[in-house]
């Protein structure tokens, strides 16, 4: 049976845009061992409903297990405090179809 892909949806309000560039480079370095890749990173945002944020991302992983392993990895957890200190928002992990 084919594994279902998994997606992390991030909707953040970033308080320090200069930080975003530095953090983005650090996140990029954590993804290859888990085969993660960005599908959406920033770009123009159009809101129809709900709370507005200023940065949205979608990450794709080959499986929910790979996504969880990345999220809980030492490399990613090491930079999480940086994100939390300069932004607020949600991360939602979803298994694909």
27-36, pLDDT tens digit by residue?
999 999 999 9
Residue-level pLDDT at 97? 85
Residue-level pLDDT at 28? 94
In a domain, 54, yes or no: no
Q: 30 near 83, Cβ under 8 Å?
A: no
Q: 41 near 28, Cβ under 8 Å?
A: no
Once rounded to an integer, what is the mean pLDDT over residues 40-68? Answer: 90
Q: What is the span of the domain harbouring residue 23?
A: 6-45+60-95
In a domain, 51, yes or no: no
Residue-level pLDDT at 92? 95
Q: Indicate the pLDDT class of residue 17, thresholds 50, 70 and 90.
A: confident
Q: 96 near 5, Cβ under 8 Å?
A: yes
Using DSSP, how many helices (H) and how many strands (E) does the chain show? 3, 4
Q: Indicate the pLDDT class of residue 76, thresholds 50, 70 and 90.
A: very high
Cα(16)–Cα(4) distance, rounded to whole angstroms?
35
Once rounded to an integer, what is the mean pLDDT over residues 38-46? Answer: 87
Once rounded to an integer, what is the mean pLDDT over residues 11-29? Answer: 84
In a domain, 66, yes or no: yes
In a domain, 71, yes or no: yes
**pTM recorded for the entire structure:** 0.87
In a domain, 1, yes or no: no
For residue 20, the domain's CATH number is: 3.30.70.100
- Number of folded domains in the chain? 1
């Amino acid at each position: 049976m084919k594994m279902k892909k998994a997606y992390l949806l991030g909707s953040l309000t970033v308080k320090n845009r200069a930080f975003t560039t530095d953090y983005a480079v650090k996140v990029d370095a954590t993804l290859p061992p888990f085969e993660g890749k960005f599908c959406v990173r920033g770009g123009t945002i159009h809101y129809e409903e709900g709370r507005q944020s200023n940065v949205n991302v979608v990450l794709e992983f080959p499986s929910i297990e790979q996504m969880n392993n990345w999220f809980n990895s030492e490399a990613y957890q090491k930079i999480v405090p940086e994100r939390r200190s300069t932004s607020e928002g949600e991360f939602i992990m979803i298994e694909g179809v």
